[in-house]
Structure 1
């Protein structure tokens, strides 16, 4: 099935991905992972919530850790251009018959929650409290030195449908994997901010959150993190990598937090701002699509993900499978 033509004039303007809320079962242990090990900065915390930002970010937070009994993923949040876009976004989702619930969020302006057609919980807002810049406060740089949140990747039971819906929202496909036997999409990478992706979809039981990714300055930061994790009790949380993807050209590492939420540490992709940029097609059977070099992805990478709170999980329709490590 061909990917849709880029929608350069969507009904409202999404600027970029913004943040994610993760439910964690042990807030202190999660703090040790995200703050002491990865190096994210605490911008506020209470008895049951921690707000974090990365080093280049001016917004109040890029990830929210919320204490709960069962680990899960909550809203994937996106920033829109202005309040008018927020109102037009509300109309778009309402006209689709999708829920629109206006909610109060700390440090954000008017915010509403909805879900995409597969049940992924989404949140939209126009303004977040701004904080003083810290990107040149090098005394604060720790761990992997995370600069900014980069993208979400979600398991989708039907990638063709997911790409078609987010294309309506103005997400443009940069790279995609097609199963030649069926002609259907196995995965796709879609952007708003001019990188390879803000949102990606991988074929699998879903909807579930596959991973949240953070951009770091260099591959050496990833090597430093591996040394740190190996000597501070986190070696078993290293899942895959380091290596380089064929898709996106990114140097990568995948790790798991104390509750199993997957985090990608990521650098070295490329710019995609041209509106007429042609997407790159990959064959599912190409061994270099997921790993240009490095060990193949383990079975867990294809099968495990974070359940979205309140979403009904369904098996994928496409049964094709890429290379899996033994």
Structure 2
């Protein structure tokens, strides 16, 4: 199926992805993992919630952790260009038949909550509390030295539907995987901020969050993290990598937090700023699409994901499968 032409003048202007909110079953264990091992900076915490940011970020948070009986994902959040875009977004989603509501979120201005084409919760805001820069406070750098949140990746039951929906609100495809037998999309990478992706879609039971990715300075930071995890009781949380993706050209590592939320540590991808940049096509059976070099992805990487709180999933419509490690 052809990739839809990009919508260069969308109904409202999304700047970038912003943050996600995880529910976790042991807040202290999650605090240790994200703050002490990964190196995210805590910006606020109380008995039930922790807010964190990465080293280059001026916004108050890129990740929220909430203590709950079951692990899950509350929502994926995006920043828009201006206050007026919030009202435009509310009107657009309502006209498409999606529920809209204004919700209160600490450290943010007006926040719109709605859902995508599969019911996955999306939130939009313009204003977030600004914090002093810390990117030159080198005494704070620890763990993998995360610089910023980079992207989300979601399992969805129909990637073509996801690309069409997100394309209408301005997300542009940079790379995609096509099943040659059916001509349908198996995966697609889409962006707003000029990188390879703000959100990607992978064929699978969904909607579920496959992973959240953080950008780091160099591959050596990933090696340092592996040494740290292997000697502090987290060797079993290393799921896949290190290696280099064919798609995005990124050096990567996938790890699991104490509740099984998947985190990608990511660097060395490329810019895609030009609005007329042609997407790169990959064949599903090309072994270098997922791993340019390194071990193939394990079965867990294709099957396990984080559920959105209270949302039912459905099986993927496309039954084609990529290469899976034994």
Q: TM-score higher than 0.5 here? A: yes
Query: Given the alignment of the two structures, is residue 184 of structure 1 paired with residue 184 of structure 2, yes or no?
Result: yes
Aligned residues: 326
Aligned partner of 2:88 in structure 1 is: 88
Question: Equivalent residue for 1:5?
Answer: 5
1:285 is the counterpart of 2:277: no
- Equivalent position SS for 1:226: helix
2:114 corresponding residue in structure 1: 114
How many Å apart are 1:310 and its aligned residue?
Answer: 2.0
SS at match of 1:206: coil
The alpha-carbon deviation at position 157 of structure 1 amounts to 0.1
Are 1:33 and 2:33 an aligned pair? yes
Secondary structure class of the residue paired with 1:223: helix
The match for 1:213 is 213
TM score, norm. by length of structure 1? 1.00
**Equivalent residue number for residue 224 of structure 1:** 224
For 1:74 and 1:171, locate their aligned partners in 2 and report how far apart those are by CA, in whole Å.
Answer: 22
| Cα separation, 2, equivalents of 1:243 and 1:120 | 30
Structure 1, residues 266-303: CA drift from partner, whole Å, max 9, x if none?
Answer: 00000000011000000000000000000000000000
1:58 and 2:52 aligned: no
Q: Report deviation, 1:117.
A: 1.5
Q: Which residue pairs with 1:138 in the alignment? A: 138
How does 1:238-277 map onto structure 2 within 5 Å? 238-277=238-277
Deviation at 1:239, TM superposition (A): 0.1
Q: How far off its partner does 1:72 sit?
A: 0.3
Partner SS state of residue 150, structure 2? strand
d(CA) in 1 for partners of 2:299, 2:119: 25
Q: 1: CA distance between counterparts of 2:146 and 2:201?
A: 23
Partner of 1:167: 167
Instruction: Please state how far the C-alpha of 1:112 moved relative to its aligned partner.
Output: 1.2
Matches within 5 A, 1:283-322: 283-322=283-322
Displacement of 1:145: 0.0
Structure 1 gaps, min length 5: none
Q: Which runs of 5 or more residues in structure 2 are unaligned? A: none
Equivalent residue of 1:79, what SS?
Answer: strand
Following superposition, the deviation at residue 309 of structure 1 comes to 0.8
In 2: Cα distance, 1:212 partner to 1:193 partner: 16
1: CA distance between counterparts of 2:276 and 2:102?
36
SS in 1 for 2:23: strand
Q: Which residue in 1 is equivalent to 2:202?
A: 202
Question: Structure 2: how far apart are the matches of 1:101 and 1:257?
Answer: 31
| Structure 2 CA distance for aligned equivalents of residues 175 and 305 of structure 1 | 22
2:79 paired with 1:79: yes
Distance 2:265 2:166 in 1: 24
Q: Aligned equivalents of 2:68 and 2:310: distance in 1?
A: 14
The aligned counterpart of 2:14 is 14
TM, length-normalised to structure 2: 1.00
Runs of 4+ displaced beyond 6 Å: none
Distance 1:101 1:88 in 2: 13
